[in-house]
Amino acid sequence: MMSWFLKIFKKNKRNLIKDFNPSNRWIHYSNGAILDKEDKSQTVWIVDSNWFEKWFFGIEERLGLILGKMLIQASSESTEYSLNTNKILTPKNKDIESWEKLYVDWMYKNFGSFSIYSQNSNQINLMINNYANLYICIGSLSSALEYLNDIRYKFHWSDSETNIILSLQSSIDIFPPPNSLKITNYDFSRVKKDPNSDLWEILSINEEGTWFIQKSRPLVISNDLFYRFEEKSLPFLKNTHFERLSDYDWGDLDTHRSNWWTASADSARKQFIDSSHHIMIREDDDWKKVGNKHLKKYGLGGIIDAESLDNFEEILFTIESFFHPSIICGILLACWERAYGKKGKLFLTSEEEVFLVKISPAHDSQPLNINRVS
């Protein structure tokens, strides 16, 4: 029998959707970051869900690995860490359908919706409707149920194009709560908010609360989730070879991490190239406009400066990055390749709170000499 609270909650869903606006939570800053208003330590990337899925398949292809399980684990740990850190309250009746905070969280992240499909003394079956990403949604919802009931679960699932049946059984396994990742913290108190980001000018929301940007469905990925995905993947890397492996230089990174960053960046480069964006550069300052349109709008950071070097096509960028550097570097290289119509090579190094990125034609590239920067 449906509880009194659940009846009220389901009745209020329409009002939740009616008053819902994702820009209330995802706050743009003038330096190109997007912060989570509910968790100010977290920067996020707002990315088209199909773009992200193709990027994911691209990194799997380049590394020669199946990484779905790693993304599930990363999503699960990131969800658990956020719930623990922010001390999120749960419904007293332990009914996940009546957990309004979680329901609204999924709306803001554009994950989809969930409900109890069936349950008995041994197993609970949850249905995820209209999911944005199979692995992220499975990891997030299974972790939320563990947090709700304070027990671990083992699970399996079946899926179609639009729905997932997630079946969970209690487990005797004991896992410690996830640790904090050592991601560099940035002081945003000195940075202006940008409440008028043009990202939200092309926002639409359907009657189910799913939201779209230019008719494409975004997905909100936290920096914490992305870095956890990297860390989960690294132990499985072997000797890696793919076409553009030598076109990225990450400085002092060890071989496995460097290969992961390269696979991530090159998959992002390929997805951007396939999107057929037009990049027109007449002078160095035009690069800042490119950064505003393709990086800053989505929370990846921005281009502070762009300087043509000895070779006109060789550009030194000074960038601020608030998401994983591989994504901004892959998109930046794609912009350069679209602008000049040739393959480029990218070198990355850091200096204080910024990154220095040099992009040159691939055939005559030289490593980035930090002493050239005045």
Transcribe 72-85 into DSSP letters.
HHHHHHHHHHHHHH
User: In sequence order, what are the residues at sequence separation of 6 or more whose Cβ sits closer than 8 angstroms to the Cβ of residue 9?
Assistant: 97, 98, 100, 103
CATH number for the domain including 245? 3.30.1380
Q: Is 363 found in the same domain as 248?
A: yes
Residue 368 has pLDDT above 50, yes or no: no
Pairs from 285-291 (Cβ < 8 Å, separation ≥ 24): 287/315, 287/317, 290/335, 291/32, 291/319, 291/332
As a whole number of angstroms, the distance between CA 146 and CA 99 comes to 13
As a whole number of angstroms, the distance between CA 259 and CA 248 comes to 9
As a whole number of angstroms, the distance between CA 101 and CA 147 comes to 13
Q: Is residue 109 part of a domain?
A: yes
Closest CA to 32 of 51, 46, 49, 53: 46
Least reliable range by pLDDT among 154-158, 176-180, 362-366: 362-366
Q: Is residue 199 part of a domain?
A: no
Q: Residue 45's beta-bridge partner residues?
A: 221
Q: Of all residues in the chain, what percent carry a pLDDT higher than 70?
A: 93
Per-residue pLDDT reduced to its tens digit, 243-302: 999 999 999 999 999 999 999 999 999 999 999 899 999 999 999 999 999 999 999 999
The token pair that represents 161 in the structure block:
């194009």
The token pair that represents 259 in the structure block:
């290969």
Q: Of all residues in the chain, what percent carry a pLDDT higher than 90?
A: 78
The helix (H) or strand (E) run that includes residue 39 is strand 39-48
Helix-strand-coil split of the chain, %, nearest 5: 45, 25, 35
Q: Is 348 found in the same domain as 269?
A: yes
The token pair that represents 260 in the structure block:
């992961």
Per-residue pLDDT reduced to its tens digit, 81-111: 999 999 999 999 999 999 999 999 999 999 9
Which of 149, 170, 191 represents a domain boundary (last residue)?
170
Q: Which residue has the tokens 């001390």?
A: 87
Does residue 242 contact residue 133 with C-beta atoms inside 8 Å? no
Q: Is 152 found in the same domain as 46?
A: yes
Q: Is residue 195 part of a domain?
A: no
For residue 152, name the pLDDT band (cuts at 50, 70, 90). Answer: very high
As a whole number of angstroms, the distance between CA 89 and CA 108 comes to 18
Q: Is residue 359 part of a domain?
A: yes
Q: Is residue 329 part of a domain?
A: yes
Residue 371 has pLDDT above 50, yes or no: no
The token pair that represents 251 in the structure block:
């400085």
Q: Is 260 found in the same domain as 127?
A: no
Residue 5 has pLDDT above 70, yes or no: no
Q: Is 151 found in the same domain as 243?
A: no
Per-residue pLDDT reduced to its tens digit, 28-77: 999 999 999 998 779 999 999 999 999 999 999 999 999 999 999 999 99
Which of 142, 170, 198 represents a domain boundary (last residue)?
170
Q: Is 274 found in the same domain as 157?
A: no
Does residue 319 contact residue 357 with C-beta atoms inside 8 Å? yes
**Average pLDDT, rounded, for the chain:** 91
Q: Is residue 208 part of a domain?
A: no
Which of 170, 189, 212 represents a domain boundary (last residue)?
170
Range(s) of the domain holding residue 111: 4-170
For residue 131, name the pLDDT band (cuts at 50, 70, 90). Answer: very high
pLDDT at 374: 31
Q: Is residue 145 part of a domain?
A: yes
pLDDT at 240: 86
For residue 183, name the pLDDT band (cuts at 50, 70, 90). Answer: confident
The helix (H) or strand (E) run that includes residue 101 is helix 100-109
Q: Is 163 found in the same domain as 25?
A: yes
Q: Is 24 found in the same domain as 153?
A: yes
Q: Is 252 found in the same domain as 156?
A: no
Q: Is residue 130 part of a domain?
A: yes
DSSP codes, 248-315:
EE-TT--HHHHHHHHHHHHHHHHHHHHTT-----SSTTHHHHHHHHHTGGGTSEEEEEEEE-SSTT-E
Q: Is 9 found in the same domain as 144?
A: yes
Per-residue pLDDT reduced to its tens digit, 303-336: 999 999 976 689 999 999 889 999 999 999 999 9
Q: Is 253 found in the same domain as 131?
A: no
Q: Is 286 found in the same domain as 155?
A: no
For the question of whether the overall pTM of this predicted structure is more than 0.95, the answer is: no
- The number of domains in the chain is 2
Does residue 331 contact residue 314 with C-beta atoms inside 8 Å? no
